[in-house]
Amino acid sequence: MPAQNIHILKNPNARELSPWYPLDFGETLRTPEWTFTSDQLYRFSQ
C-alpha cells in the first residue's frame, strides 16, 4: 500500500460544520494553511 497522508482541518468560517467544509465551494477552497482546487476533491469509497 502506498504511503498515505491525511489532514483534518478546522473550519474557522463555519463552526457548525467544523471540521468539515461545504462541497459547493466553487473553484477554490481556501483553508487557513492551504488552497485546494475543485479537481483535488476526493472521497473515500467502499
The pLDDT tens digits for 1-46 are 676 777 777 788 887 877 778 878 889 988 888 898 988 877 766 6
CA distance 17 to 11: 7
**pLDDT value of position 38:** 86
CA distance 41 to 43: 7
**pLDDT value of position 10:** 77
- Cβ atoms of residues 27 and 38 within 8 Å: yes
